[in-house]
Amino acid sequence: MSEELKLTRSLEDYLEAVYILQKEGGEVRMKDLAARLNVKASSANEAVERLADLNLVKHERYGSVALTERGRRLAEVVYSRHQALLKFLHEVLGVDREVAERDSCALEHSVSPETLSKLVKFIEGLVARA
């Protein structure tokens, strides 16, 4: 990604959650975002404000949250990493889906970008052959 924007694990999780909620139903309300991430509304609001400051989401007070074009591109990267790791853990290694979900989220934030990129390419190669 050419944008060289480094987000915290938490902000990546919020960005991904907004992306998923938009895919599922269009409008993203703050209470839905907080519920999805199992956090207080005040925590969700603080994170959304930080994402808005970075021009990754648009949010008006008491209004819905929407990804900007830049935010959507970054969220798609985060989401695709997560999905590739989830698929590998669950479908290739046979890890229980719930455990694979938790572990893929942890892995995507814990490994270096270089390792993650190579792991995702490896997983995609395995899946393409299957």
What does the pLDDT look like over 20-59, one tens digit per residue? 999 998 889 999 999 999 999 999 999 999 999 999 999 9
Report yes or no on 98 lying in a domain.
yes
Report yes or no on 20 lying in a domain.
yes
Which CATH number covers residue 21?
A: 1.10.10.10
pLDDT at 110: 77
- Domains of the chain: total: 2
Answer yes or no: do 82 and 106 share one domain.
Answer: yes
Report yes or no on 83 lying in a domain.
yes
Distances (CA, A) of 123 to 12, 98, 111: 21, 19, 15
Report yes or no on 21 lying in a domain.
yes
Report yes or no on 33 lying in a domain.
yes
Alpha helix (H) residue ranges in 1-68: 9-25, 30-37, 41-53
CA angle centred on 88, ends 83 and 89, rounded to 5°: 100
pLDDT at 74 over 90: yes
Q: What is the mean pLDDT of the chain?
A: 87
Q: Which residue, of 68, 95, 112, is where some domain finishes? A: 68
Task: For 84-115, give one letter per residue: b (16+ CB within 10 A) or e.
Answer: bbbbbbbeeeebeeeebeebbbebbbeeeeee
Q: Which residue, of 24, 44, 68, is where some domain finishes? A: 68
Answer yes or no: do 50 and 93 share one domain.
Answer: no
Task: State how far the Cα of 125 lies from the Cα of 8, in Å rounded to an integer.
Answer: 29
* β-pair partners for 66: 58
Q: Which domain holds residue 32?
A: 9-68
Provide the residue type at 12 as one letter: E
